[in-house]
Chain A
Amino acid sequence: MKDLVIAGRKFASRLFVGTGKYPSPDILRSSLKASGTELVTVALRRVSLTEPDPTMAAIDFDTYLVMPNTSGARDADEALRLARLARAASGLDWIKLEVTPDPVYLLPDPAETLKAAEVLVKEGFTVLPYIHADPTLARRLEDIGCAAIMPLGSPIGSARGIKTEEFLRIIIEQACVPVVVDAGLGLPSHAAQAIELGADAVLVNTAIAVAADPVLMAEAFRLAVEAAVKGMAAGPIEQQARAAASSPLTGFLE
């Protein structure tokens, strides 16, 4: 696989990790370490960037690139406010753009996401939008300058794995920027499957954070992603075999 480079920054690990829902900051810290990740997301609505915050304290800023997300934003304006406040308070200018007006399935709003992304890119943010596995939207976002695209595998937190395979395949085929499969990955094998489809990276939160043993699960995801990367590099055999025909089609060339 070619190196994973987003906005000029190279990542050795293709596993990105969310920091919500962990049993404790200590377990969060150990899980991040076990995951081998180099990029973590934090939900701006959950953490405080201006006062001492237990989640932020558990994250070693020297080891991880911290990417705030706008989860909870219901429209473009709310997402913009969150992103600007985050940058003003912390100097962090990578933003995972999430606009999810639907509180039940937390599905992203494509129109508002595109609108917000346009403004954020213009304001100099490095924008990674969370979207449905919609190839046209992915291209529109890429065209306006998003640094990577984060399509969902299945509804966030659902642990149902990759249900959008056909569309992810198209996004991956067409994208000129990295594709990070985000949301719905419940098992290490789901993460491996995403990499095998050709995704550049995966983002996992719930599956690790709420596992009975988050640290062990973080390690399992790390190994699964590494296994898939190695497997792809090793040149996998193909499932389909085809018989060779005699020459009814090209006989005119004889």
Chain B
Amino acid sequence: MFETILDTVEQDRLHARIYGACAADVAHVLRKAHCTPDDFPTLISPAAAEFLETMAARSRQLTTLRFGKAVRLYAPLYISNECVNACAYCGFNMRNDTPRTTLSLEQVLAEADVLHRQGFRHLLLVSGEHRGFVPVAFISGIARQLRETFAGLSIEVYPMETADYDVLAASGITGIAVYQETYDRARYAALHNGPKADFSYRLATPERAARAGLRELGIGALLGLSDHRTDLALLALHAGYLMKTFWQARISISFPRIRQAAGNFVPSETVTDRQLAQAVFALRLVLPDAELVLSTRESQQFRDGMAGLGITRMSAGSRTNPGGYSIAEKALEQFAVDDCRNAAEVAAMLDRKGLEPVWKDFDRCFLA
């Protein structure tokens, strides 16, 4: 289990390595033919900020080598904003007194239909964490309806047992996303209330999903909850562990920055564009095969600039409220998007940059 590895990391020493690295340390790492996960603290250090262009060039080179010019496009489909948790930073916080809604199966299919017509074949089904409103049977019912028309169906809902993931895999779900948010236990405890407060259970979720044979495992940290460099170093360690242990699964990494949402949470730090770019390059240098995800919560300018430099998956035209594509009711959104372009516009941008927008990256034939 990854938790046993995480427990051996002395976070104070890790912090000291990151903040103690000097320019010579960074230069040394960047001269190596292959960077290793152990180089990550140096590459994410404040000292490495001076080497951003060199890191960008290597990140671009490695990304092209491993992924070609392809960038996979996906769309989130919000099923419900009901939630049993009270996370200080999230718009779905159960204590936020705002309209709640859960789509019916017909409504979910209508939303999916809109996205299908836009070209999407990979969906991320998202909900707040509420087993009552969004039971496993409901998700598997959706999957059975959508499996014929969509190549990939991932879920970002609530942590489950392997037996639940077995059911979902059999219904046509192909992957999960579950973000640890922060790897700092004390900070995690302070920010989370409800079932999500169980740090260990959440941490082992990708492992439970992998044991059910789900092929796509997405993990992530929400930058701005704790020291972002330390969180990224532990996120990289987590990804490396999953890639080694569940080597038949595809691991993707997300690193959303906190956005304005209902509740007006104040982040502990604001991660700048330059810092986020450095994070992407550092992750690419030590994990050449990891999928790196950039959502519409980032600005158009930043997304366009980063396309081709390390990012391999992008969402486009996203609505983060249930029904946002076809019903457009003013339900509570999870966070405010920044890049508001539609899917065709994002695809055209990739095309202009000499990149290939990839809508379908899996075939159901694999699943027999």
Contacts and interface: CB of A to CB of B under 8 A. Distances in A.
Interface in A45-68: none
Contacts of A3: none
B28 interface: yes
B51 A244 contact: yes
Contact of B57 (A139, A238, A245, A252): A245
Majority secondary structure of chain B interface residues (helix, strand, loop or mixed): helix
Contact of B305 (A139, A242, A245, A252): A252
Chain B CB count within 10 A is highest, among A242, A245, A253, for A253
B365 interface: no
B13 interface: no
Contacts of B51: 244
B32 A253 contact: no
A250 B304 contact: no
Given A176-B244, A252-B301, A253-B305, A247 B33 contact: no
Given A249-B309, A253-B274, A253-B305, A174 B247 contact: yes
B54 to A, nearest CB: 5
Given A176-B244, A176-B245, A249-B309, A240 B31 contact: yes
Contacts, number: 49
Interface in B40-63: 51-54, 56-57, 60
Contacts of A90: none
Contacts of B56: 249-250
Contacts of B302: 252-253
A238 B31 contact: yes
A250 B275 CA distance: 12
A241 interface: yes
Contacts of B301: 252
A245 B33 contact: no
Interface residues of B, number: 23
A10 B33 CA distance: 31
A242 B52 contact: no
Interface in A218-254: 237-242, 244-250, 252-253
B281 to A, nearest CB: 9
Contacts of A253: 52, 273-274, 277, 302, 305
B30 interface: yes
Given A240-B31, A242-B54, A249 B60 contact: yes
A249 B53 contact: yes
A176 to B, nearest CB: 6
Contacts of A176: 244-245
A239 B33 contact: yes
Contact of A241 (B31, B53, B245, B247): B31
24 contacts: A139-B247, A174-B244, A174-B247, A176-B245, A238-B28, A239-B33, A240-B31, A240-B33, A242-B30, A244-B51, A244-B53, A246-B53, A247-B52, A249-B53, A249-B57, A250-B52, A250-B53, A250-B56, A250-B274, A252-B301, A252-B302, A253-B273, A253-B274, A253-B302
Interface of B: 28, 30-33, 51-54, 56-57, 60, 244-245, 247, 273-274, 277, 301-302, 304-305, 309
Given A245-B57, A248-B53, A249-B60, 5 more contacts: A176-B244, A176-B245, A242-B30, A249-B53, A250-B56
